[in-house]
Structure 1
Amino acid sequence: MNNELDIIDNLAELERFLLSVENGGLGLEGVAGVGMATNNTDGRHFVAVFDDNNKLLHARWIAQEIFDTGKDMVRNGVKAKH
């Protein structure tokens, strides 16, 4: 992962991360999608940014609670607030 200590542990931080990816704030090129996954080695969860070839461009660790509750936000994107 990009930073072992930088764990997303609340939905507001997940939303900021997703918006940053969508708005190009991370400087990533060729972003095609975002998904959640589990590390096979230690079972930790992370949110990942992929390109068209499913190559990992960027990832951040996420807490178990965010893995459980943030799936719709990752799947459907961040909804605009009214």
Structure 2
Amino acid sequence: MDRISALRNVEDALRAFEDGEMDLATTERRVATVLRTYATEFDDDPRTTYRAIGDDAVVVASSEPEARERVRTLRDVDDDVPFGLERLG
């Protein structure tokens, strides 16, 4: 899914919420689904998504070492603290 499609899908979900066609919980699920789909589909791009196991940190990176560094930066994790990493895309 490209960025424009993702934005349109989020806009459609917000419009349905505003029009009373969807409740907030359904809107949140739909927007989260769009974001997860967008984040895990990188056509013709060497990057992929990784998630820190036991955490909700999901990052886009070209390699596992890069992903670990991004998680450490986002979560302010000490270099000595080990954590698992799961490839999503």
TM-score, structure 2 as length reference? 0.29
Larger relative helix fraction = 2
Structure of higher CA gyration radius: 2
Q: Hey, which of these two has a bigger chunk of strand by percent?
A: 1
